[in-house]
Amino acid sequence: KRLVVLVSGSGTNLQALLDAIAMRGTAVYGAEIVAVGADRTGIEGLARAERAGVPTFVCRVKDYASRDEWDTALTEATAAYEPDLVISAGFMKIVGKEFLARFGGRLVNTHPALLPSFPGAHGVRDALAHGVKVTGCTVHFVDDGVDTGPIIAQGVVDVRDEDYEDEGGALHERIKEVERRLLVEVVGRLARNGYRIEGRKVVIP
Ligand code: GRF
């Protein structure tokens, strides 16, 4: 299966996928990363792709006259690689209706909180502010909401007293350790076994 991975930052989730595929081989893992896309230049996520010899593309919102034109450009840039699955791994933009029309049902996102709790761009900080005792991460299909699509898998992370000292930096790193393993496992299963989305349920045979 062909994967396009979308990033906006450090790309450690991307790196986990690259490492798993390098270690197990495309045939065994069931997928290869055919391109990495980003909404900005100069990020470690793009450097990771380049080091792995994976083609990259960048679609910056400010380069387009409107958000819709950016959405079209992102859709076309992604479609050029004919992906079977698109993985949003730390991609910090909400894709538009054209992207969803083209890739809905095969667009996977990972979020650093236990959805439906704490959706949006500050899931870790919001969970801490709420005083939760456990949080975690969610891998889900993207629908037309923000972090609202059918949930594929979740991982739980305990919150520690010291997490309140650094606005969630340490907590986010602990979440990312679980998140990377969860994403690698889920993407491999989706690629190897196929899947069905039945309402809010995801069935992986
Ligand atoms: C991940 O925790 C992702 O869920 C969140 O931002 C982080 C991205 O990390 N949206 P990285 O870029 O994969 O290192």
Q: For residue 82, how far is the Cα from the chain centroid?
A: 18
Please tell me the distance between residue 14's alpha carbon and the centre of ligand 1 in angstroms: 9
Asked if residues 186 and 152 have their Cβ atoms less than 8 Å apart, the reply is yes
13 assigned ligand-binding residue: yes
Mean pLDDT confidence for 111-120: 98
- 53 C-alpha to ligand 1 centroid (Å): 21
User: How far apart are the C-alpha atoms of 143 and 29, rounded to whole Å?
Assistant: 26
Ligand 1 centroid–CA 90 distance in Å is: 4
* Both tokens assigned to 23: 């270690």
Give the residue numbers annotated as catalytic, written as ranges: 111
In DSSP terms, 109 is beta-bridged to: 88, 140
3-class secondary-structure state, position 109: strand
Alpha-carbon gap, residue 190 to 200, rounded angstroms:
16
Ligand 1, residues 13, 142, 171, 177: which to mutate, most atoms within 8 A of Cβ? 13
Q: Is the CB of 39 under 6 A from ligand 1?
A: no
Confidence check: pLDDT of 171 > 90 = yes
Q: Which residues are CB-neighbours of 35 under 8 A, at least 6 positions away? A: 4, 5, 49, 54, 55, 56, 57, 78, 80, 81, 83
Residue 166 — very low, low, confident or very high, per pLDDT cuts 50/70/90?
A: confident
What pLDDT is stored for residue 43 in this prediction?
98
Q: Mean pLDDT, the chain, as a whole number?
A: 97
Taking residues 124-138, what's their average pLDDT? Answer: 97
38 and 3 Cβ atoms separated by less than 8 Å = no
Can you say whether the dihedral through the CA atoms of 93, 91, 47, 190 is positive or negative? negative
Torsion of CA 78, 84, 90, 95, to 10 degrees: 50
Residue 135 beta carbon below 6 angstroms from any ligand 1 atom:
no
Reply yes or no on whether the pLDDT at 168 is more than 90. no
| Ligand 1 near 112 CB (within 6 A) | yes
Mean local confidence (pLDDT), 111-116: 98
H/E stretch holding 139 reads strand 134-141
Q: Report which residue type is found at 41.
A: T
On the question of pLDDT at 184 being above 90, the answer is yes
Nearest CA to 12 out of 123, 178, 169, 186 is that of: 178
pLDDT digit string, tens, across residues 19-58: 999 999 999 999 999 999 999 999 999 999 999 999 999 9
How does DSSP classify residue 108? E
State the pairing for strand pair 56-58/32-38: parallel
pLDDT of 167: 85
Query: Residue 33 is inside which H or E element, if any?
Result: strand 32-38
Q: What is the mean pLDDT of residues 74-83?
A: 98
